[in-house]
Amino acid sequence: MRVTWIVYRKELQEILRDRRTLLAIGLAALATPLVLFVISQVSTKTATQTYTVGYSGDIPTGLDILLRAASLRFVPVPDPAAAAKSEVDLGVAFLPGEIDEYYDPSRQGAQIADVRLQTVLGQYQAAQAAAALQSRGIDPGILTPLKFVSHPLSSPVQAASNAFLSFFLPYILITMILTGGFSAALDSSAGERERRTLEGLLLTPAARSNVLLGKIAAITTISLVAAVAAIGSMFVALSQIETPGAGPSANHITLSPAVVPVMVWLALLIAVSFSAVTLALGTLAKSFRQGQAYVTPLYFITILPASLVLFVPDFNPSLAYYLIPILNAVLVLRDAIVHDSVGWAPLLVTTASLLATGALSWFAALRLFTREALLTRS
Amino acid sequence: MNRAAVAVDRLEKTLGPNKVLRGISFEAQAGEIFGLLGPNGAGKTTTLRIICTLLSPDAGTVEVQGFGTRTAPEEVRRRIGVVTADIGVYPRLSARENIEYFGRLCGLESAELDRKVDSVVERLDMGSFVKQRAESLSSGQKQKVAIARAIVHDPEVLMFDEPTSNLDVLASKEVREFMVEVKGRGKCVIFSTHVMHDAERLCDRLTIIHQGLVVASGPTDEVRGDRRDLEDAFLALVEAK
């Protein structure tokens, strides 16, 4: 353990003097709040934006007031179908007893305007029907024989926040752990060969397994620092971004305290695994540049599981899925964030899987580190 | 009979498709500079790498102060220091930090480490740049750092593999003087080079390797024989093969 500690201290000392690594961590801490701010601004703009509807014919009395209230601006056009292609977000032809709508589903503005128009028309028609019944002395309640009352079991705003976090937090965590330790891992493996320090290191009486452990520990530390910096800045940013909510407590995205220990544990496991994997890949490379070519695909492979959770939000996997490294961490984090609880079985399987990945990668790195080709090829 | 500091016996090694060593044998004693001579590609560096346990031989044995490279590699590494032409130093560490790192990995701690680092810094006259980061040092200064880290644990055997090939005249002279000084302190110095002039001046005994075979071995005067200088003798031996 003495050798491991010596190597760990020296690697950290070098990493902290390396501008590339410090820049990566600094950018991670700055980029996350910036991205969140942009997302928040775009969402707010989309929600409050006024969309333009090109129309022909006569707008029924009273409907125009409702449409304006829904931020739909009506402009007269000779041909609503032609106008809907590019001039306006939606085209509407008011005909006797009929309303024809024209829109391009590939345009996001058209989709939003369509939803708003249909909502307003539904309300307008219900109000017209109720008024007609009332004028004939009939109770308008017959239009709604079943009374519908919604009772959400948790705050819908909090649920929306959790859904956002369940994608964004694992994504940030995994990305930052990988990119934070990326440069350090390559510098510590391929870099040793490139600057010809590897031979000197292998000439010492230190056991190579202990040397590797020291390197992995240092890379893990710096990966975790990068992840903590990114997630810390993310929560600072989220605390400043307001979300539309009913009460004062629902106005900011918050994280359940139960998630924190799970996140820390998973971050540690992922960081150890990634450090071992990147170190093994870096050991294969003769130079830093070649190492970059080897490690970069790893980034895309690891981002896929986070994307899966984004595109299949209700993905309900069996326990076997928790054997797949990274996907398992994303799933456990998602469960913790969305449901405020973690099952012991998925957590244990995930832990075993990530530990096994780290151990296998460490073993591979050790095998590569003790190969004669490591020296003769360079 | 005194035990040899380094005993190499019928060493064979193949790297890729090339049979690099074909039965190399020699012994180097404490208190001498032993030359390992040969043209580029003769097998000198491979021999040194096997002695310091970086490579393992296909056949034959190597012992360093009685410890076999196969059976006790860590004990062997504890007893040797290696200086090569590739001056690999950690650029973001200072010269002193570079030396201390290798000292610690060789088992030195606290007061003893400080004392030994101070000692090599003084011996190699590194005081003016020892606190500077290695990335800002000249080639000669880096070579001194490489020598310092190789000797900080005071090994009994020192191996120099073409140590002056990237250095200017003054820096080369300092390295040569250092080798003589180390020999004077009773250490075994193995000097691998293709510069015959250096070998003739420095080596007490030497072995000439060509195409993985020993073509001559013995005291420098004997190997030179009645030729004008060692270079003539070397060329005659190599061409005869």
Nearest Cα to Cα of residue B101 among B156, B150, B141, B138: B150
Are A36 and A66 contained in the same domain? no
User: Of A142, A167, A195, which marks where a domain is finished?
Assistant: A142
Domain with CATH 3.40.50.300 in chain B: 1-79+157-241
Are A136 and A19 contained in the same domain? no
Q: Which domain holds residue A110?
A: 53-142
For helices A327-339 and A288-311, what crossing angle results, to 10°?
Answer: 40
Eight-class DSSP state of B3: P
**Both tokens of residue A341?**
């609880």
Specify the number of domains making up chain A.
Answer: 2
Inform me whether the C-beta atom of residue A100 falls under 8 Å from chain B C-beta atoms: no
Are A111 and A166 contained in the same domain? no
Are A21 and A62 contained in the same domain? no
Window from A215-224, A259-268, A342-351 with minimum mean pLDDT:
A259-268
For helices B110-123 and B95-105, what crossing angle results, to 10°?
Answer: 130
Are A138 and A165 contained in the same domain? no
Which tens digits make up the pLDDT trace of A273-310?
889 888 888 888 888 888 888 888 887 787 776 677 66
Q: Which residues of A touch B107 (CB under 8 A)?
A: 205
For β-strands B213-219 and B205-210, DSSP reports them as: antiparallel
Q: What is the pTM of this model?
A: 0.79
Residue A214: how many CB atoms within 10 A of its CB?
Answer: 23
Higher pLDDT, A190 or A7: A7
Any domain includes A45: no
Any domain includes A339: yes
Q: Are A54 and A80 in contact (CB under 8 A)?
A: yes
Kindly give the confidence (pLDDT) of every residue in chain B, 241 residues in length, as a single tens digit, with 9 standing for 90 and above. 457 899 999 999 998 888 999 999 999 999 999 999 988 888 999 999 999 999 999 999 999 999 999 999 999 999 999 988 776 899 999 999 999 999 999 999 889 999 999 998 988 888 899 999 999 999 888 988 988 998 899 899 999 988 877 777 877 888 888 899 889 999 999 999 888 888 898 999 999 999 899 999 999 989 888 888 888 888 888 777 6
Are A71 and A182 contained in the same domain? no
Are A190 and A224 contained in the same domain? yes
Any domain includes A237: yes
- The pLDDT of residue A239 is above 80: no
User: Of A119, A142, A165, which marks where a domain is finished?
Assistant: A142
Q: Which fold has domain B1-79+157-241?
A: Rossmann fold (3.40.50)
Contact check, Cβ <8 Å, A205/B78:
yes
Are A162 and A244 contained in the same domain? yes
Q: Which residues of B touch A204 (CB under 8 A)?
A: 77, 102, 105-106
Are A234 and A316 contained in the same domain? yes
Any domain includes A221: yes
CATH number at residue A76: 3.40.190
Q: Is the ipTM above a cut-off of 0.95? A: no
CA angle B100, A192, B141 (to 5 degrees): 50
In this prediction, residue A25 has a pLDDT band, given cuts at 50, 70 and 90, of confident
What residues have CB less than 8 Å from B181, skipping those under 6 apart? Answer: B123
Q: What is the pLDDT of residue A283?
A: 85
| CA distance linking residue A32 with residue A39, whole number of Å | 11
User: Of A142, A168, A200, which marks where a domain is finished?
Assistant: A142
| CA distance linking residue A229 with residue A307, whole number of Å | 22
Q: What is the pLDDT of residue A39?
A: 75
Strands (E), chain B: 6-15, 18-28, 33-37, 59-64, 67-68, 80-84, 157-161, 188-193, 205-210, 213-219
Q: Which residues of B touch A199 (CB under 8 A)?
A: 54, 82, 84, 86, 88
Any domain includes A11: yes
Are A162 and A58 contained in the same domain? no
Residue B138: how many CB atoms within 10 A of its CB?
Answer: 12
User: 3-state DSSP: chain A helix, strand, coil percent, rounded to 5?
Assistant: 70, 5, 25
Q: What is the pLDDT of residue A247?
A: 47
Contact check, Cβ <8 Å, A205/B86:
no
Inform me whether the C-beta atom of residue B52 falls under 8 Å from chain A C-beta atoms: yes
- Average pLDDT estimate for A185-206: 88
Any domain includes A243: yes
Any domain includes A148: no
Are A82 and A197 contained in the same domain? no
Q: Are A201 and A330 in contact (CB under 8 A)?
A: no
Inform me whether the C-beta atom of residue B147 falls under 8 Å from chain A C-beta atoms: no
**Both tokens of residue B160?**
């120099």
In DSSP terms, B67 is beta-bridged to B64
**Both tokens of residue A10?**
């020296």
What string of DSSP letters covers A169-222?
HHHHHHHHHHHHHHHHHHHHTHHHHHTT-HHHHHTSSS-HHHHHHHHHHHHHHH
Q: What is the pLDDT of residue A49?
A: 83
Are A266 and A123 contained in the same domain? no
Which tens digits make up the pLDDT trace of A140-161?
888 888 888 877 776 666 676 6
**Both tokens of residue B208?**
């000439």
Any domain includes A241: yes
Inform me whether the C-beta atom of residue B75 falls under 8 Å from chain A C-beta atoms: yes
**Please, what is the average pLDDT of chain A?**
83
In this prediction, residue A250 has a pLDDT band, given cuts at 50, 70 and 90, of very low
Cβ contacts from A onto B, under 8 A:
68
| CA distance linking residue A260 with residue A5, whole number of Å | 28
